[in-house]
Structure 1
């Protein structure tokens, strides 16, 4: 698949040949659904469990007479009403660590990339180097390039520092290095913007 490469000023900068094994895969909703669900589950935090009555190490010996003590017939110091006893109805540990085959995860990422390329929602830039971290200037460039309502920008090894700072105040514009590419973020943005370095990194990730 061949795609036009542009500069940050929306000028033509030649073509780039995209690997069909990465950017030409037919998307399947079931695979994308599985990968997104797995990714969101992995992002959930685990509640800190408390010790309940069965977890407290205290004597279970009956500590008072059945009658004549003037109190209820308690049989254990582990009861929640006593200091040092177990917590009643406290939070329990919940496991949010699902597993998903690596091949399925890799296939889902290829499908997400291919979906953007197929629907003309993929823009390839020569680079995203800015001389000055000026948000106003970056907004003018974005309007020329047609990023849409939301865009995810991926650079190569690391995101250009000036571009990152200039984009901080722009809503629905997120940046990340190619190493952070994931299905959820790609699908959650209308436009995917890759630099030449990002394309090389992504293709090397699957062909390596």
Structure 2
């Protein structure tokens, strides 16, 4: 499929071919949701901790004698029933991450890219470069392009001046192509890919592109 290429000056810079195997799939929300859950679970610190009865700092002395008080029988004050006692079955530090096959993760990324293309929220940029390296100049360019909430993916190396100019702009994220992920793609309204990023993605998913082309020739 063809896609128009734009520049930061809001001028046309030709067209580019987008691989059907990467940008032309029918999006599967269930697959994308699995990947988002996987990413968010891996981000959890898992440092939550509640003291149990062996950890609370209270006396271990028996509260009162066993019989003759007219009340229930109790031991020390570390039990959960009493204020200041340990929590029963409270949270302990643990890893919340779970396994997701590598092929499923790769497929989810392609479906997320296809979802952005299908929704008309994918923009192809010629180059992500800033001459001045100034935030105000980049803000004016983004305003002309109507970019208020975007994720910009460039090639393997980002231009330092562009990153410096963009980092002070709210709701603007800039990542190298190796950092592209499903959660950040969905978090922003528009996805902006440079031509270098598209070339890197096609190289990364070369097997999927070749398989898709082979299936198309058979049909």
What TM bracket, shorter-length normalisation?
0.7 to 0.9
Distance, in Å, in 1 between the alignment partners of 2:49 and 2:189 is 40
- Partner residue, 1:69: none
How much has 1:53 moved relative to structure 2? Answer: 6.4
1:139 aligns with 2:139: yes
Distance, in Å, in 2 between the alignment partners of 1:54 and 1:203 is 56
How much has 1:48 moved relative to structure 2? Answer: 6.5
- Partner residue, 2:64: none
> How many residues get paired?
198
Distance, in Å, in 1 between the alignment partners of 2:3 and 2:110 is 17
Q: Which ranges in structure 2 are unaligned for 5 or more consecutive residues?
A: 56-74, 80-85, 208-219
**Contact 2:50 2:87 (8 Å CA) reproduced:** no
Alpha-carbon deviations, 1:170-200, whole Å to 9, x = none?
A: 1101110010111111011110001111111
Q: What TM-score do the two structures reach when normalised by structure 1?
A: 0.79
**Contact 1:49 1:90 (8 Å CA) reproduced:** no
| Aligned residues: CA RMSD | 3.3
How much has 1:146 moved relative to structure 2? Answer: 2.4
**Contact 1:48 1:91 (8 Å CA) reproduced:** no
Distance, in Å, in 2 between the alignment partners of 1:33 and 1:54 is 40
- Partner residue, 2:113: 113
Distance, in Å, in 1 between the alignment partners of 2:165 and 2:158 is 12
- Partner residue, 2:123: 123
Does the residue aligned with 2:168 lie in a helix, a strand or coil?
coil
Alpha-carbon deviations, 1:58-77, whole Å to 9, x = none?
A: xxxxxxxxxxxxxxxxx9xx
**Contact 2:153 2:177 (8 Å CA) reproduced:** yes
How much has 1:90 moved relative to structure 2? Answer: 9.0
Q: Which runs of 4+ in 1 moved over 4 A?
A: 48-55, 87-92
How much has 1:135 moved relative to structure 2? Answer: 1.1
Distance, in Å, in 1 between the alignment partners of 2:186 and 2:2 is 22
Q: What TM-score do the two structures reach when normalised by structure 2?
A: 0.75
1:188 aligns with 2:187: yes
